A and B are shown apart, each in its own frame.
Chain A
């Protein structure tokens, strides 16, 4: 592989990692804190993409579309959390998985009804290119990477420096003991649910120009997102970052070298990680419910 090809593949991998990170970090926090598998987050990912498509097509302003996508998804997530998840937090993981899968399927049905089955293109907000070590790459990919880095540092600051963030970290370790300090953990659950939905929508919105938005886009990315959560370790932001970087690069190089490897290799990585660290790369041994 030539140097330009190598650089190009690494940057494409980093952009994929950025999308994976935004989609997975909330899932990791949600499972770590609430012990739920929230498959409806992939609906918010799709809604983020579709709202970006609608607003960007109508007004020509991609960033306004992204904002509308995040706000719409958070509003919908708030209703779903209040009306459904509040009733099932104390039930098993399987319960949340099936319920949220139902929400996802209903949402996909609604998307098909409104926008049809045909994939839709979304404008790229930044059309320039960057020359790097003999190759030319779209500027937008670097923007996507930068956005994910900014979200990472913002999340770190929030979790480490704010009292609500510390309550989330405590809840990930032991939700009962957190409530035992007088903290209404359901309020914390709602907040984390909304953060997750917002990040999912952001991932969908910024991913949209790189793919065609289609009703099943959420379903297509489920396995990869959960694989990243599991490899990184439940509830660990650092783990999600490392895992996203790993899977992004593995998939990018897989596509470049031999396409079928791109689908298979992430699962091989997951199995290898499980053999060495069953809790994931950065999963806490203290995690309990």
Chain B
């Protein structure tokens, strides 16, 4: 694991109307490491990622990326700084082809690298002219990651990437994430504990909107000491 924080979340609070979803969240995501956040449904994992990515406006707290405060920025501004968010719904633009989906990502990011995307996901080359509506779940996930890493990507926030995918595709994705970890900081929300164990350099457990455990020791992660809490 590399040293130095790529992303620092401090005392982050998020509410949906009068209902609080995140309570004083404090997390540090080291550069070029894989951080995995686990927890039951409703634990606040997605809320945390959305707040970092600018899709939710926190009621208080701070998110510092490479020394700059990004809390309160609009999502496109966060993206342009190099922090990308991949939601869990695996929805791509159904009316656009794979190529057009990628073109849109390259339109916003001036330093796009198509070769890199096709190196990670060679299958996308043969799907270039297929519309998003006709892609399988695994292909959609490839496209979503491909769109995200097309331009400058320092931090990749991925929400439940393996949910609903076939075991072989999960294996491929896990291998891809391992490769990607060399290029950028990965923050994964993951319910699949086997994947979490395999990928995590550090692991956070969330429960009812709070961070309740933080594991950095490999042996602790392997044994997933708080598995009973999930």
Contacts and interface: CB of A to CB of B under 8 A. Distances in A.
Interface of A: 163, 166-167, 169-170, 173-174, 176-185, 284, 286
B115 to A, nearest CB: 19
Given A169-B93, A177-B93, A183 B104 contact: yes
Interface string B126-147: 0000000100000000000001
B65 interface: no
A169 B107 contact: no
Given A180-B85, A284-B94, 13 more contacts: A166-B100, A167-B104, A170-B93, A173-B94, A176-B55, A177-B87, A179-B75, A181-B104, A181-B147, A182-B80, A182-B105, A184-B74, A284-B95
A169 B97 CA distance: 12
25 contacts: A166-B96, A166-B100, A170-B93, A176-B75, A177-B87, A177-B91, A179-B74, A179-B79, A180-B53, A180-B55, A180-B75, A181-B76, A181-B79, A181-B104, A181-B147, A182-B76, A182-B79, A182-B80, A182-B151, A183-B76, A183-B104, A183-B107, A183-B108, A184-B74, A286-B94
Nearest to B75: A179
Contacts of B79: 179-182
B96 A179 contact: no
A88 to B, nearest CB: 16
Contact of B76 (A170, A173, A184, A284): A184
Contacts of A163: 103-104, 107
B109 interface: yes
Contacts of A178: 104
A160 to B, nearest CB: 9
B151 to A, nearest CB: 7
A181 B105 contact: yes
B100 A185 contact: no
Nearest to A163: B107
Interface of B: 53, 55, 74-76, 79-80, 84-85, 87, 91, 93-96, 100, 103-105, 107-109, 133, 147, 151
B104 A170 contact: yes
Given A182-B80, A184-B76, A286 B133 contact: yes
A286 B134 CA distance: 13
Nearest to A183: B108
Q: Chain B CB within 10 Å — which of A174, A176, A183 has the most?
A: A183
Nearest to A285: B94
A174 B95 CA distance: 11
B95 A286 contact: yes
Contacts of A182: 76, 79-80, 105, 108-109, 151
Nearest to B133: A286
A263 to B, nearest CB: 35
Nearest to A167: B104
B149 to A, nearest CB: 12
Contacts of A174: 91, 93
A167 B107 contact: yes
Nearest to B97: A166
Contacts of B91: 174, 177, 286
Nearest to B100: A166
A183 B107 CA distance: 8
B95 A185 contact: no
A2 B25 CA distance: 78
A181 B93 CA distance: 11
A181 B104 CA distance: 7
A167 B133 CA distance: 17
> Residue among A163, A170, A174, A184 with the most chain B CB within 10 A?
A170
Nearest to A235: B95
A179 B107 CA distance: 12
A286 B151 CA distance: 27
A199 B105 CA distance: 29
A177 B75 CA distance: 9
Pick the 4 closest A-B CB pairs, nearest first: A182-B108, A182-B79, A179-B75, A170-B93
A179 B50 CA distance: 13
A284 B74 CA distance: 27
B103 A185 contact: no
Contacts of A286: 91, 94-95, 133
Nearest to B92: A177
B100 to A, nearest CB: 5
A259 B107 CA distance: 52
Nearest to B102: A181
A129 B208 CA distance: 76
> Which of A173, A179, A284 counts the most chain B CB atoms within 10 A?
A179
A54 B120 CA distance: 62
For B79, B107, B133, which residue has the most chain A Cβ atoms within 10 angstroms?
A: B107
